[in-house]
Structure 1
């Protein structure tokens, strides 16, 4: 696996490493190297060398640096000169760049490949509101092939997830890169009635993916007559397990439900860090299981799945203690 050194002036590298781990999960062979005010170039170079020495594959190293021409860049460039046939440096570090680098390591084996691939994502991550302040782009030619161009076939469900946060960073980056949807469909009666939340969700869609918000009944209709989607790959997001059960009962055809997060509120117990349940939730998951639905409890693709039966049992025990 390609090792990644995140290099910066001050603690920027530490902070963006933490942010990347929150979104994409803990990563192996990734180190933050910082140049602090009391340190000089040699100090930074020594820390970078020590970081590289911890990597399982020191032949393939990618440096993500905050600023072209600064001391972190200059010192990594000195190291790079002896390995330029395999190592790579990309300056102008931002969070979309880092997340794309993490995702790229799943399918790319060289630092050169990843460096070339992540530049466009880093550029696309720079956006502005109001939108009219953005520079005008030349119109792009319409795609002639592929699912997005209306190729034959019905809707394919690449991920179905319960997540009270709906479309957030882990979905827009980690899961989108993992399952490659062409559509993200938020299925919620309450959100469908809320124009502000609908707009925010549509704006949060990652580049190249369309986001929609539909009520549960509308999703059931789409599932029964989905030919007009032309082979689209759908990532469905439910705010609650109750909405997911309604969809299953209505005929939305999926057999695995990913469980991401369920927010805590009054009357709920929280058996782990991200999932909270009341009795209605527990009963709903029981009904889903009885209908043959399997549960995949993971925040991000790189997490190890947790056992849903154990989580529900713990929640049930805690509710009984409160009674």
Structure 2
């Protein structure tokens, strides 16, 4: 795995690493190094060396630094220049959170720092926006974007690339790792509750990754869309459900799903939690039993790189814990 060093003036690198891991999860082979007001170039250089020495693979290192031409950049560049192989490390300046999250996701499928550095540049730029929207510079539509838009209205039905149960719905892990793994053209949140909440709808739409449209629809509308064979040819849909009960209603209504990714179910009063990410009450357990009876399979993972867990064993532990209660 490519090692990543975040380097900055002051505590910026520490803070953005904390933010990135809050969104994407804890990361291995990532280190933050900072230059404090009382330190000089040699100090941050030594910190970089220590960080590199801690990586599993010291031949592939990506430096994400705050400022082009600043001391962190200069010292990273000096270390790169000292190497015999100058084609295995890379430096990207202008560190921001979209860049960092995309770098985390890219390490799952890219094996070199150069690949990742090239890939994250567009994400970093597209992460910079402004409100009111009329302040945003007008950029002419590119041909690829026009081609993607032309798929809308093409005869055919949706292709379902992922259906996921996740209490948090559209968040960092979905917007980066799962989107990258499944390559949807649309992310659709299916929820009667969220469809009535204008604020949550707006937040979900704004959280969509570049190039992907996000929608929020009630369950009955998703059932209608699933039957439409005239307008969605070429469209790859990633469906997000807040609860297994919503998913069951959609499947019983005719949404043609065969595998469900179970990512996160939040704990609340009356629920048991047999593992770190999933909590159940009796209704949840009964609902999964109905889904299984309908022929659905379960893929229990937070992110694509996780090892799949056994849903039957998880549900068995949950039932045992509920049975122990008075």
Q: TM (normalized to structure 1)? A: 0.91
Q: CA deviation at 1:188?
A: 0.8
Residues 218 and 3 (structure 1), Cα distance of their counterparts in 2 relative to 1, 3 Å cut: same
Residues 305 and 12 (structure 1), Cα distance of their counterparts in 2 relative to 1, 3 Å cut: farther
Q: CA deviation at 1:287?
A: 0.9
Q: Does the CA-based 8 Å contact 1:297-1:305 persist in structure 2?
A: yes
C-alpha distance in structure 2 between counterparts of 1:265 and 1:55, whole Å = 39
C-alpha distance in structure 2 between counterparts of 1:253 and 1:227, whole Å = 16
Which residue of structure 1 aligns with residue 129 of structure 2? Answer: 127
Residues 303 and 17 (structure 1), Cα distance of their counterparts in 2 relative to 1, 3 Å cut: farther
After superposition, residues 247-262 of structure 1 pair within 5 angstroms as 247-262=250-265
Q: Which residue, 164, 168, 173 being the options, matches 2:167?
A: 164
Residues 273 and 107 (structure 1), Cα distance of their counterparts in 2 relative to 1, 3 Å cut: closer
Q: CA deviation at 1:54?
A: 3.0
Which residue of structure 1 aligns with residue 90 of structure 2? Answer: 88
C-alpha distance in structure 1 between counterparts of 2:208 and 2:236, whole Å = 14
Q: TM (normalized to structure 2)? A: 0.90
Q: CA deviation at 1:315?
A: 2.2
Residues 126 and 280 (structure 1), Cα distance of their counterparts in 2 relative to 1, 3 Å cut: same
Residues 2 and 142 (structure 1), Cα distance of their counterparts in 2 relative to 1, 3 Å cut: closer
Which residue of structure 2 aligns with residue 9 of structure 1? Answer: 9
C-alpha distance in structure 2 between counterparts of 1:147 and 1:287, whole Å = 38
C-alpha distance in structure 1 between counterparts of 2:39 and 2:128, whole Å = 31
Q: Tell which deviates more after alignment, 266-275 or 242-251.
A: 266-275
Which residue of structure 1 aligns with residue 100 of structure 2? Answer: 98
C-alpha distance in structure 1 between counterparts of 2:89 and 2:81, whole Å = 9
For residue 229 of structure 1, give the secondary structure of its aligned residue in structure 2: coil
Could you give the per-residue CA deviations for residues 248-284 of structure 1, whole angstroms, max 9, x where no partner exists? 1122111111112222333222333332221111110
Which residue of structure 2 aligns with residue 117 of structure 1? Answer: 119
For residue 162 of structure 2, give the secondary structure of its aligned residue in structure 1: strand
Q: CA deviation at 1:122?
A: 0.5
Residues 148 and 39 (structure 1), Cα distance of their counterparts in 2 relative to 1, 3 Å cut: farther
Could you give the per-residue CA deviations for residues 6-65 of structure 1, whole angstroms, max 9, x where no partner exists? 112233323322333333344343222222344332121112112222334333321101
Q: CA deviation at 1:78?
A: 1.0
C-alpha distance in structure 2 between counterparts of 1:196 and 1:31, whole Å = 36
In structure 1, list runs of 5 or more residues that go unmatched. Answer: none
Which residue of structure 2 aligns with residue 289 of structure 1? Answer: 292
Could you give the per-residue CA deviations for residues 158-185 of structure 1, whole angstroms, max 9, x where no partner exists? 1101112111222112211121110001
The alignment covers a number of residue pairs equal to 323
